[in-house]
A and B are shown apart, each in its own frame.
Chain A
Amino acid sequence: MSFLKFGFSSDMLILGERFKKGQYRPVITTIPYSQITGALQAIYGNGKYGLDAKQIHSCGHFLIKDEGDFRLKHIETLTYSPRNRSMNSSILPIYTEYLYNVEGIVYLKENEDVREVVNETNKGDIPLWMGGLKSKGFGKCKLNFRGIINDKKDIEVGNLNTRLPIIKLCSPCFETEEEDVKKLIEHGIPTKFLQDVFGIKRIKTANFGYLFEPTSETQGKYVLSLFEGSKVEAPKFLLKEKRDIMMNIQTDDIVSKVIEEIRNNRKIGGYFSSNFLNSVGDILEKEGNAMTKTFLWERSSRRDLRHQAEALLEVIKILEKYHSIDRKTGRFVIKSLISILSEGGSNK
């Protein structure tokens, strides 16, 4: 049993639950089977639903080291007021949470029907659209091929990190009787679909929920599914990684990256005058990068300031690499350069 492993990234994405109170739509923090399979089916399926659809099976998860931290840094709320064109007025605004700047991993079951996807991987990133409000620019994602995993032997007991339906309505090869579902609920014996597609051996504690499965272009049903946190005996890649392994996967603090780069740059060092740093910082905040660089080039012609000016040009170069850093923050980085380079502000 092989799976294609992809890196996943998206700038703005709505993987939602159902609307609450008719107005508020929360997002989820994993990549369920229904969403990613649907997105891949839309590109690589044959445009058909039901029995004629291709056998594409995929699931995934975001790279999360701490749920609270992830929510704080990667979830925003958009207030949106749809317009009722017939009445020519705006209706009640809706609030939708959306994920931004998220990274994850997607696994795609390797079989004949995904041959086309395999071919695409040679050409670079695979673009796809997923989730809600695509018409408003949400949901553009990228898959980046990382390799093939064969987890036949790598079976462990752990917590599921994604959402998987227990049956596939439109696949005769995974036919499931009501009795099989009863066996799953009462004794933890996985259905044929879970066993054959994802290699799940046993369900020790099931967290149930429902995922949507389209049965035609306009219709579909919610299917009983295993949700994240279910304790299962399954291939390791489907399970939540231990906390310590996840620690280094994603750094969200951009300024922290800048500080690290400044510390690691050999050209930045030596003596700095507080007055000079204050002046450069103020210029950066008021006039921007171009004017600051001109000022520093001019000052580098002076022998007493050459060293400081050249080092600061390096700092500006680093700041320029990170577009999300605003001028105010840039000014503060420059003003605090002595502390940044000294031990006090380091991790020690």
Chain B
Amino acid sequence: MNKHTVVPEVHDIGKLVDKDWIKNFISQKLSILPEKIDWDHDFLCKNNETEKYLDYLRFFGDIFNETPTYEIIRYHHNPPPKQTKNIFLACVADHMASSISRTLTIREMEKIRIKSETKNLSKLWKPSVKKISLISSEKDFKHLIEFINAIQNKEQYIQEFYDKLLERPEDFQPPKNITSLLTHSKLVGKLYRFFEENITETPNGFEFGGQIRNSTKDAEEKWLIKIILGRIKFSHYPVRVKDLNIFEILNNEVNTFSKYDNVILNTSSQFLAILAPNASVAEFVKPFVNRGFFVTVEEAKTEIKNAYLTPDSIRKLEYQTFEKQLEKNRTNFEKIPDKHIKDKKLQELNIKQLEFEKRFRISNVYGILPITVDKLCEICQMEYATIDWFDEDSGITEHICKNCYSIRKYSEMPIAPKIDLWYKEEPYSKIAWIKINLDIELLSITLEELLKKYIQDITESTKDASKDVRLILDEIKLRFSVLAEFQQDFNSFIKDFNNKLEQDFNKENFQHILDDFICVKLDKTGHINDILDVYNNLFTKYFPKLKDQKSPITFSASVSSAKFAFFRHWNFLENPTDDINIVLIGKGEMHISLNQLEEIMKIRLPSSKQLHKLAKISETSEKLAKVLVYDRGDYRVYNELEPFRGKDKTINFKTILTYTKMLEETDEFP
């Protein structure tokens, strides 16, 4: 490895030092009062009074080598007038990777009083109470200098300081303390490398997307960038266990994709990424399209400074101003007496509107789409069927395309061998397909709302704040790093959920397909209740603040016999409508919020006889089932069904009935 390798992740390493400790240390050594010492994470130390820099490194017997990495640490906040490419890139990346769009200026701080600095990371969905341990000894500080001088790659940095990076907020000053230094550093590294690949140094400045700029501020205001939210889908109808290989392909492709520097966040089937303004989206998603997937891409082309969370949030924000201007112009042009000029002006306006819409496109990117096909693939129905697949067991021949064939042939070992085994043992054994979805769009809306609440909590003047103050606070928007921070917790949540289910249901009854997509063999459908309990507990542990609103994380379970066609489950699992979604194939569906789930789980259940009766009647008519719940004809029945009465005011009665059917055990599933 080249000794001059830049490791941009390290730019904020100085934040790992306990500022109070180092100030006291220097104070003792130089006999200056600590409050007169101004030490910053770029390792520069100044005497406030004399404005002179203090040489304190000699006390540690070491100095910083002038490596490009040190250059970034030293100058990323105060770049010299003639910037090198490294510093320029680090500044742009650092700004883009901050948790919020702007910080308060000193003048603004006079108007808005922020409650005292916290020493904790305060995630918007879960405030932390962990005590942070920072570098606060001579020995550790000395080691830090040596580390900076010797660092070769990001892995070294993350491995060495993982716990500290995870606990330390990007900034102690609220509301910037909502992301960890780990997330911020990783993101700066990614963005740095993305720009490094796309920026060219010219004699007049730095060129990106056809525009040359030489100051960071100018670049942020003028350079355009594409933000894309992609959802990877497939047209296949997986029917055989071998067809489930499509998930293994998806998993492998997503794993490779997630390592790209411009991919900010990803789940098993979604991603948020940035592209240079002239880069082709179709080219970018080609790895998926070549494998037979199609990708729904939402894109927004905007200035770097406006690169907020998702394309939709950017569009909404920009559309407000654009629409106002558009309407104003339209009204003015309508008043023009000369018809010719009026028409011309209105036409110009329409073109402007079209151009605006072009900046915010939603499209489906497919592979090759032939206009006509003679023989269509039976599985995906999108390609020529060129291969005959002969199944020895049934003697059936299927006509499939090369993509579907490659899926079946992808791996000798099928991705879900246990499902095959369950089916062979007992075709009617009950299984639950479970998918946890993260809606990135809704996540961005939810986080924005949580930020507003957080700002309200930490500022003391918001309630009776003047219009100015409120405008300043409204201007604060979230940026990508919050999403990246969320992904970290989301991944841990999924991991814990899978581990707990595997432990509770035993290995032989648990089939992992994707991290957020599993299949569980059930003895009784009632065991779904246990799964819901695990989910609810973990959700409360990881995302307590998301429970009070519609959650961007959703749980979907589809229950049937092992024999039932998988693609029907997938239709349901892919489109969740509420926090908790359960379908019992052929019996009913329930869609409820997490709070309603807690409510419904508290219901004292009647005897299985009454439960069965209610479930059976509801299959004929929901209304009649409701009549039974309120019928006083038989006092024993009336008493037993008491817990259900009144519940339909908060929970849909249909949901109660599906829940009843879920707990009631007799019938087999289709």
Contact = CB atoms under 8 A, between A and B. Distances in A.
B371 A181 contact: yes
B374 A21 contact: no
A68 B622 contact: no
B240 interface: yes
A278 to B, nearest CB: 8
A22 B627 contact: no
Contacts of A92: 394-396
Contacts of B583: 68
Nearest to A68: B589
B656 interface: no
Interface in B608-636: 617, 620-624, 626-633
A209 B235 contact: yes
A210 B311 CA distance: 30
A204 interface: yes
B287 to A, nearest CB: 20
A345 B586 CA distance: 25
Contact of A20 (B362, B370, B378): B378
Interface string A113-133: 000000000000000000000
A342 interface: yes
A333 B624 contact: yes
Given A224-B372, A338-B632, A338-B633, A21 B398 contact: yes
Contacts of B391: 21-22
B376 interface: yes
B493 interface: no
Interface in B576-630: 583, 586-589, 617, 620-624, 626-630
Contact of B381 (A24, A209, A221): A209
A92 B366 CA distance: 36
B565 A20 contact: yes
Contacts of B587: 72
Contacts of B240: 21
A339 interface: yes
Contacts of A185: 366, 369
Interface string A214-256: 0000000111100000010000000000000000000001111
A208 to B, nearest CB: 6
B372 A21 contact: no
Contact of B397 (A17, A22, A169, A253): A22
Contacts of A259: 623-624, 627
B636 to A, nearest CB: 14
B598 to A, nearest CB: 23
Contacts of A335: 631, 633
A329 B376 contact: no
Interface in B194-217: none
A297 interface: no
B379 interface: yes
Residue of B620, B623, B633 with most partner-chain A CB within 10 A: B623
B433 to A, nearest CB: 15
A339 B372 contact: no
A185 B363 CA distance: 9
Contact of A205 (B362, B396, B629): B362
Contact of A255 (B372, B374, B378, B624): B624
14 contacts: A18-B378, A18-B381, A20-B378, A22-B398, A24-B239, A26-B565, A185-B369, A205-B364, A208-B366, A210-B373, A221-B373, A224-B369, A255-B620, A329-B620
3 closest A-B pairs (Cβ-Cβ)? A344-B630, A255-B621, A22-B396
Interface of A: 17-24, 26, 68-69, 72, 77, 92, 166-167, 169, 178, 181, 185, 204-210, 221-224, 231, 253-256, 259, 274, 277-278, 329, 332-333, 335-336, 338-340, 342, 344-345
Given A20-B239, A21-B239, 10 more contacts: A26-B568, A92-B394, A185-B369, A208-B369, A210-B382, A221-B372, A259-B624, A278-B633, A335-B633, A344-B632
